Amino acid sequence: MELLRRLCQLHAPSGNEVQMKEFLLRYVQDHQHSWKVQPQIIYGEGFQDCLLLVFGKPRTVIFAHMDSIGFMVRYGKQLVKIGGPQTETGYTLVGEDSQGKIECTLREDEEDGSLTYDFHREIDRGTELVFQCDFRETEETIQSCYLDNRLGVWSALQVAQTLENGVVAFGGWEEVGGGSVRYLAKYIHEQYGITQALVSDITWVTEGVRAGEGVAISLRDSLIPRRSFVRKIIRLAQEANIPHQIEVENAGGSDGKELQHSDIPWDWCFIGAPEDHVHSPNELVHKKDIEAMVDIYKLLMHKL
């Protein structure tokens, strides 16, 4: 889990995914020689800070978002949210501005909910702050900030090792409503003619989706993907005896939203391990669910 630990420590709030992109690029360049198939690596002009890995003759694409939630310094000591982080007085936030490294403390006003930081000096306006990473591993669980979605990225990298045909797309801006999947999806569709997509992301432990009971396959969140596609995925998971749980929610969203609302007839499905303490520094995922997540992606990229 050393790779996952390093991913969780990278600074890449929405809109500033460049450190994740560069890390992943180096990682792929360093490790692809041991992979079953060496992918075409696509990045740079026309792709902003995104990264695509294209293996063989793809039929399906995995989307895994690189960006994280966080905070941005507004005026004076004020903070505004990047995406929807949990806020609790005392959380340690880290970042960097023109005067150097920052390690400060989040403070939430009890009355009006306004957010500020405690620090010995004023921080530059517009500076991004993210949760300080405290990576904790037990025999059964992983706990850290940003398992959402460094774990989705990590899982995609495990799948990449043996992937023969498929695309792995690392995008940004997911936590703030999107901005890259639409053009990545267009490129992928136009180049390879494919319309099948899997969203490799982390979901919530709820009364119906429990830690340790398998990877979640989402029949719906605020959006509803085509039922026949999701039913096919569930059938494949059943036949392969991969531990899984069917998720049915009426809120939340993912990169699937950009696919659903695009001008390409995507069949898509959200598949990911559930986590507890969502969007906090203490996101907690069960290792069995991580294992099932990698297994189902390997299966689906082969079978779909």
- Count of residues interacting with a second copy (CB under 8 A): 53
Contact call for residue 262 and a second copy (CB under 8 A): yes
Running DSSP on this structure, what letter comes out for residue 231?
H
User: Rounded distance, CA 281 to CA 134, Å?
Assistant: 8
Contact call for residue 125 and a second copy (CB under 8 A): yes
Q: Which residues share a beta bridge with 284?
A: 143, 276
Binding flags for a second copy, 234-253, as an x/- string (CB under 8 A): ------------x-xxx---
Contact window for a second copy (CB under 8 A) among 35-43, 98-106, 122-130, 132-140: 122-130
Shortest CB 72 distance to a second copy, Å:
6
Contact call for residue 261 and a second copy (CB under 8 A): yes
Under 8 Å between Cβ of 24 and 66: yes
Under 8 Å between Cβ of 303 and 242: no
Under 8 Å between Cβ of 130 and 145: yes
Contact window for a second copy (CB under 8 A) among 33-41, 44-52, 87-95, 162-170: 44-52
Positions 181 through 240 that interact with a second copy (CB under 8 A):
182-183, 185-186, 195, 206-208, 219-220, 223-228
Q: Which of 3, 18, 211, 299 forms a contact with a second copy (CB under 8 A)?
A: 18
Report the sign of the C-alpha dihedral through residues 202, 207, 208, 214, in that order. positive
Shortest CB 222 distance to a second copy, Å:
8
User: Rounded distance, CA 133 to CA 291, Å?
Assistant: 23
**How many other C-beta atoms can be found within 10 angstroms of the C-beta atom of residue 16?**
17
Query: What is the separation, in whole angstroms, between the first and last Cα of the chain?
Result: 28
User: Rounded distance, CA 122 to CA 193, Å?
Assistant: 51
Q: Which of 148, 174, 267, 295 forms a contact with a second copy (CB under 8 A)?
A: 267
Contact call for residue 263 and a second copy (CB under 8 A): yes
User: Rounded distance, CA 216 to CA 205, Å?
Assistant: 9
Nearer to a second copy by Cβ, of 48 and 282: the residue is: 48
Name the residues that contact a second copy, by CB under 8 A.
Answer: 14-16, 18, 46-49, 72-76, 80-82, 125-126, 128, 173, 176-180, 182-183, 185-186, 195, 206-208, 219-220, 223-228, 246, 248-250, 258, 260-265, 267
